[in-house]
Amino acid sequence: MSNKNYVLGVDVGGTFTDLALVRLDDGSTIYHKTPSTPHDPSEAVARGIKELLENSAVPASAIKYFGHGTTVATNALIVGKVAKTALITTDGFRDILEIRRQRQPHNYDIRMAKPTPPVPRHLRLEVRERTYLFGRENIAPDETVISSHVDLLKAESVDSVAICFLHAYHNSAHEERIADLVRAAFPEVFVCASHEVMAEFREYERISTTVLNASLGPVMISYLSNLEASAKSIGVVAPKILQSNGGVASPREAGNNPVRTLASGPAAGVTGAAHLSTNANFPDIITFDVGGTSTDVCLIQNGEALIAREREFNGYPVRFPMTDVHSVGAGGGSIAWVDSGGFLHVGPRSAGADPGPACYGLGGDEPTVTDANVVLGRLRQDALLGGRMPIEAALARNAIEKRIARPMGLNIEEAAEGILTILNENMMQAIRVISVEQGFDPRNFALSAFGGAGPLLAARLAGELGISTILVPEGPGLLCALGLLVADVRSDFSLTKILNLTEIDCDTVNKAFNEIEMETNQWFDKEGIDSELRRINRAVDMRYVGQSHELTVQVPNGKLTAASLEELADSFRLEHERVYGYATNAPLQLVTFRSVAKASITSPPEYLPSKEKSKTEEAIIEVRPVYFGSTGGFVDCPVYDRTKLAPGSVLNGPAIVEQMDTTTVLPPELKLSCDQNGNLVITIG
Amino acid sequence: MTKTTIDQITTEVISHRFAATADEMMATLVKTSYSPNIKERRDCSVAIFDTSGNMVALSAIAPLHLSSLLGMVKNITERHPIESLKPGDAFLTNDPYVGGGSHLPDLTLMNPVFVENQVVGFVANLAHHSDIGGKVAGSESADCTSIFQEGLRVPPVKLLNEGDLVKDVLDIVLLNSRTPHQREGDLKAQIATNATGVRRVKETFQNFGIKTVQSALSSLLDYAEARARAEISKLPDGEYHNEDFLDNDGVEDKLIPLKVAVTIAGDEIHFDFTGSADQIAGARNMPLIATQAGVYYVVKAITDPTLPPNSGYFRAIKVTAPEGSIFNCRAPAAVGDRGATGNILGDLLMGALADVMPERVMAGCGPLHGLIFSGIDPRTGEYFVDYETYAGASGALIDQEGKDAVRVHVSGAANLPVESVEQEFPLTVERYELLTDTGGAGKFRGGLGTRRDVCILAQSGKLAGRGLRETVAAPGLFGGAKGHVGSFFLHPDSNHEVKLPGSFSEYPVDSGSIVRVETPSGAGYGDPLSREPAKVLDDVINGKVSSAGAEADYGVVLKDHSVDENLTRELRDQRGGGYEQ
């Protein structure tokens, strides 16, 4: 048996399943792509693994680690192929899920309908029970209705049941009791209770999260059990599943908590980018991932992606920590158009792959961002995607002239430049949302540009935001694979206990952390993580008494003292000052206790540059005219083949660097150097 | 030629920067404020103005705030000439008669923005404070008969003088509020919000130059105007009328007529409210700017919901209402509950335009019901005020059901989570649910109203309530049935149940009392007898319509969970309705 010198990453996308096999001792990577199989995505995974192992002549037993990213849960929600789900909730409150927060879907668009509730009204059943916080006696759950409820659920052929009672974050006993009864009476169904899924206050958000989790549980479990069986038959180790928080978990964990994978799609790339940038000594970055239809941005501080607590899926909120990736509907395929008042807009409509940008010649006659880049000479004039997609530059010019330049009274290049200007504004706004609106100054971050169009657009964006360094990692495929391979095993635990800081002592706080850490350690045990690998990060959400918006403050491990509580208060005030620009000495509340469990279970590959590379000038493919607004027109610009640029090479703008899956634009006066890790590093100013 | 249009791209870039600034200000305000009213319910807005007082950017949840800030620059600079302003100044106001506000709880803070020693514009934010004094806790009661009963009137006064807090002014505000601690926190958030706004607006002027930005802002207003006019041109010319009623004037039980004549001529649209009631005794009067906001909302909703919210689009719209009337009240008329009338105004205008644009309007809506709980919290011994609003529902559209349990027309605030209410106040919520059979019947059904039962556990508890469409139900369209009316009850389902009126205040309640709110529902659109029976069946399965309701309101007979085709046809024929769609 060979030694375990390989790690395997498999990322399932809508069209293709991407695989990467990385050799640990030299970082060499073999990529493989196979068509996805939407009816059972595990088929493509199994087939892809077999093909990849055969092609590379690596035995299955040499694989040390198998990281897996899947959008099974996300897709199931989008296409509505979820389990038939029922809700059991507190008497008098079954409609919370449908009343929501009583807002209209849109203030002015009266035709926009409310999203369909994930559980219809007749499957939302009530149980008389109640937990009160003060003033009234709790009411124990009325167990006598369960058998008739279960009969109804059986008659309706329900696959899954969510249980959510008011204040279950505070008192989980009622949910536990009813969950036990339902599980005993109806063992075939998937059952989850809100205190297990998300033990935080705000009932609508908790019910929604629990119900979505229930509707995805059976889907995810069936997928993962197929996948595990395939992995076993091939002889590779069991997979670890990437979650939205950027960490991985066992199939058992992911199957029970599918909502935790809903935003995992962009998390792999972000995690990979964070790893690469940290290695390149840029631990504070903003990722800028531009695809065909959308752009994802995420802020990474000290190598850790910022975490969002809530996001909507299909119009319903899911509250769970997730990599805070903000998306805008603007990318390479976004269509530019002029409105009735004569203003230029870019997106949110996209030409997609079919008909695609006008220059593809597939019948699209609306100009896109790609067409603008062709007109300006920034993209090759004859073919894209390393020659696989032939294009006609004249079609791009025609579309821009007809739809943009003429109506606006501009020449074609000005119109193309205008498209990129407006696009740039959309992207700046996306970055403002994750930086300035959260109290971060983008000038203190580097920009990590990837995706098909990220490196095309990064220089201008960075310049406008005052960002002085851009990193262009080697390739988007690598980032995702890397993300899957370097991710920690991770789970997030939370517990709402609202306590006035002036009324408690450190014992109360120690007790709360002990309670949550007991749960955390039980999880570590179940996941089979050795005790020396276990890391726990504590935090607590705090607010001023009377506020209803909390800020998360990190808490040191170990036993807290009275002095630690003082430090907590100070940390909160500092954070409040940083985020909101002011702080007061008003009384404070602790709201939600948090614990993040992490363990590194795989070592990242050693990166060794793969082959000898040529001298810088030998990497030039051609010299072509490229338009730069700053120089007022076209200038002759050398175009380099990225694969031939050696580490240490330095380029002065203007220059273009091409590779199969993206193009990097280096405007005049900027400098680019190739670092030892395969990144292009652009320096501005 | 190309020169001017290149400037147009710059104009657009500048417009993006101002919109981004408004968004960032809104994010700051919502996050930093103290009271649930602003944080959870988002009853607040922010705006940016040029030096002439034109609104150039706005971020607002509630459409009623569309114009709440419009008069402000003029009112402030009348008292404080623009030459006398200094960097770091901030003006506080709330008064509808001298400050450009629309009711007293909306405290507005406005700062001039200085670049190169000159004022280049203003940033402002408005936040609905949950108590600003006056005769009732929560400072909003339909039965107030003078603005002097509604709370502290603040003319435009300096809250910050060259960056320094004017503590005397703050102290006056705090002393007049029942919940001073929250007021202080909310005002701090408002100060921080404008600081963000000033910084960003300044950056934009500095980056592009004062002249360029000023010219861009002026083009931006022209652009919005052009788009609004283009939309209005598409509407058929003519004069359209409608009439609706308020249940009462907040004091006496008598119907209050509301009338509108809408004239569309080319690219202009004129709303004339002549013939509506004179200003009323109670607090449901609307200052003209609130009436304008209601009109601007309707125009946006029925033409193009993406019209940019700036003063340019308002130029294409003319609003007239006789001075001293309910839509253009004079001091000292009470205005606290002007939003209630604003919601009926939405129905009034949509109804007026229904015949000419049946595919764009909605049937009558069930507006919110509001309750204010106050008393002594037994846990702390401190006075508390909980200001809450409960959604009614929207009316049906030509091809869509009305939305159940949503805020309608000009109002947009969220509810408070039950689990937040029970933490923060000595209250428990005992039920919160949709009301079966309340949606107005129609080919498309109106949205369902809600029921919420709240138990008050406070000492010296007091209630104030207000709600419209308790007598005059939301009108249906094209044969659709009216919505159901709303109600307040005390001690519901008991032998001492009391039905409370549609507006009341200072109503004493014992600890342990339960108050029930049933909100009014939306009206139907089209003949209920032409509703697809399968849809009626679906409503019955989901408990939105009862079997009895299916038969009575829709002529649909159900048997064993399915439609009895024959009996349904018979019943519908008997009633003379069409069985076809």
The SS3 of residue B329 is: coil
Q: In this structure, what DSSP letter does residue B544 have?
A: S
pLDDT tens readout for residues A170-186? 999 999 999 999 999 99
User: What's the gap in Å between the CA of A92 and the closest CA on chain B?
Assistant: 4
Alpha carbon B557 to its chain's center = 40
Our CA-based measurement puts residue B222 at a distance from the nearest CA of chain A, in whole angstroms, of 9
Q: What is chain A's mean pLDDT, rounded?
A: 91
CB contact under 8 Å between A409 and B543, yes or no, is no
Q: Write out the DSSP string of B70-83.
A: TTHHHHHHHHS-GG
Please, which pLDDT band fits residue A582 given cuts at 50, 70 and 90?
Answer: confident
Q: Flag whether residue B82 sits within 8 Å of chain A, measured between CB atoms.
A: no
- Contact: B20, A102; criterion CB under 8 Å: no
> Which residues of chain A have a CB within 8 Å of the CB of B313?
none
**Chain A residues within an 8 Å CB radius of B230:** 340-341
pLDDT in tens, A37-84: 888 899 999 999 999 999 999 999 999 999 999 889 988 998 889 999
User: What pLDDT score does B4 carry?
Assistant: 45
Across the interface, do B185 and A99 touch by the CB < 8 Å criterion?
no
Determine the 3-state secondary structure of A683 from DSSP.
strand
Q: Do A202 and B415 touch (CB under 8 A)?
A: no
CB neighbours of residue A426 within 10 Å: 18
Backbone φ and ψ of B173, nearest 5°: -60, -45
Out of B8, B60, B450, name the one closest to residue A408 (CB). Answer: B8
CB of B516 less than 8 A from some CB of A: no
Q: Which of A96, A167, A544 sits opposite B432 (nearest CB)?
A: A96
Of A108, A343, A546, which has the smallest distance from its Cβ to B223's Cβ? A343
- pLDDT band at residue A608 under the 50/70/90 scheme: low
For position B261, what pLDDT does the model report?
A: 98
Cβ separation of B426 and A134 shorter than 8 Å? yes
Between positions 406 and 465 of B, the ones with CB within 8 A of A are 406-408, 412-415, 417-420, 422-424, 426, 428, 430-434, 450, 453, 455, 457
Does pLDDT of A388 surpass 50? yes
Report in angstroms the alpha-carbon separations of B340 from A106, A378, B247, B290, B332.
20, 57, 11, 11, 19
What pLDDT, on a 0 to 100 scale, did the predictor assign at position B6? 47
Q: Does A443 touch chain B (CB under 8 A)?
A: no
Which residue has better confidence, B272 or A14?
B272
CATH of domain A489-599: 3.30.1490
Percent of chain B with pLDDT over 90: 85
Facing residue for A104 by CB, picked from B19, B412, B418: B412
β-strands B459-467, A680-683 pairing = unpaired
CB-CB under 8 Å, A582 with B192: yes
User: Do B422 and A133 count as a contact with CB atoms less than 8 A apart?
Assistant: yes
Residues 6+ away with beta carbon under 8 Å from A501: A542, A565, A568, A569, A587, A588, A589, A590
Question: CB distance A498–B423 less than 8 Å?
Answer: yes
How far B65 CA sits from the closest chain A CA (Å)? 12
Of A122, A436, A586, Cβ closest to residue B24: A436
B455-510 pLDDT, tens digit each = 999 999 999 999 999 999 999 999 999 999 999 999 999 999 999 999 999 999 99
Residues of B in contact with A582 (CB under 8 A): 32, 188, 191-192
Is A106's Cβ below 8 Å from some Cβ in B?
yes
Residues of B in contact with A205 (CB under 8 A): 417
A residues 251..280 contacting B (CB < 8 A): none
Nearest to B408 by CA among B62, B48, B128: B62
Q: What is the mean pLDDT of residues B140-158?
A: 95
In whole angstroms, what separates CA B503 from the centre of its chain?
A: 18
Minimal Cα–Cα distance from B363 to chain A, Å? Answer: 11
- Where is pLDDT greater, at B32 or A284? A284
Q: What are phi and psi of A265, to 5 degrees?
A: -50, -60
Over residues B87-103, the mean pLDDT reads 94
Whether A128 contacts chain B with CB within 8 A:
no
Q: Is the pLDDT of residue B578 over 70?
A: no
Nearest to B311, CA basis, from B21, B88, B52 = B52
Instruction: Give the list of residues 6+ apart from residue B193 with CB closer than 8 angstroms, or none.
Output: B25, B26, B28, B29, B32, B46, B109, B125
The pLDDT of A467-472, averaged and rounded, is 96
Contact B8 A113 (CB under 8 A): no
Residues of B in contact with A343 (CB under 8 A): 8, 12, 223
Nearest to B432 among A95, A113, A344 (CB): A95
Residue B579's pLDDT band, with cuts at 50, 70 and 90, is very low
pLDDT at A16: 77
Cβ of A343 within 8 Å of Cβ of B8? The answer is yes
Chain-chain contact of A429 with B30 (C-beta, under 8 angstroms): no
Can you tell me the mean pLDDT for A329-335? 91
Q: Among residues B412, B339, B426, B443, which one has the least CA distance to residue B378?
A: B426
Contact B379 A134 (CB under 8 A): yes
All residues at 6 or more sequence positions from B424 whose CB lies less than 8 Å from its CB, including other chains: A546, A548, B36, B386
Mean pLDDT, range A457-484, rounded to an integer: 88
Interface check for B305 against chain A (CB to CB < 8 A): the answer is yes
Distance from CA of A169 to the nearest CA of B (A): 10
Q: Is the separation of the CB atoms in B514 and B430 below 8 Å?
A: yes
- Name the closest residue on chain B to residue A545, using Cα atoms: B34
* Mean of all residue pLDDT scores within chain B: 93
Q: pLDDT band for B5, please (50, 70, 90 cuts).
A: very low
- Put simply, the chain A residues between 478 and 537 with a CB less than 8 A from any chain B CB are 498
Mutation target to probe the B interface, by most B beta carbons within 10 A, among A91, A96, A101, A461 is A101
Find the mean pLDDT for residues A156-167: 98
Give residue A8's pLDDT band: very low, low, confident or very high (50, 70, 90): very high
DSSP track, A511-562: HHHHHHHHHHHHHHHHHT--GGG-EEEEEEEEEETT----EEEEE-SS---H
Give chain A's end-to-end CA distance (angstroms, integer).
55
Q: A468 vs chain B: nearest CA distance in angstroms?
A: 18
Q: How many CB atoms lie within 10 A of CB B575?
A: 11
Confidence of residue A668 (pLDDT cuts 50, 70, 90): very high
B chain contacts of residue A111, beta-carbon cutoff 8 Å? 397, 400
Query: Is the pLDDT reported for residue B581 higher than 50?
Result: no
SS3 at position B450 = strand
**Residue ranges of the domains in chain B?**
2-222, 362-526, 533-574
Q: Which of B423, B429, B453, B518 would best serve as a mutation to test chain A binding (most A beta carbons within 10 A)?
A: B423
Q: Does domain A82-222 have CATH number 2.30.29?
A: no
| Closest residue, chain A, to B179 (C-alpha) | A546
| Residue B539: per-residue pLDDT | 97
**B224 at A interface, C-beta within 8 A:** yes
Query: Are B233 and B213 a contacting pair, CB within 8 Å?
Result: no
Mutate to test the interface with B, among A94, A96, A107, A122 (most CBs of B within 10 A): A107
Mutate to test the interface with B, among A90, A93, A99 (most CBs of B within 10 A): A99
pLDDT of A654 over the 80 cut:
yes
Q: How many residues does chain B have?
A: 581
What's the pLDDT at A23?
A: 87
Report d(CA B473, CA B493) in Å as an integer. Answer: 24
Which residue did the predictor score with more confidence, B221 or A486? Answer: B221
pLDDT (mean) for A370-381: 95
| Mean pLDDT calculated for residue range B405-434 | 92
Model confidence over B29-59: pLDDT tens digits?
988 887 777 877 788 999 999 999 999 999 8
Q: For the complex shown, is ipTM > 0.90? A: yes
Q: Is B542 in contact with A120 (Cβ distance < 8 A)?
A: yes
The string of pLDDT tens digits covering residues A618-642 is 999 999 999 998 777 899 999 999 9
The answer to whether A447 and A469 have CB atoms below 8 angstroms apart is: yes
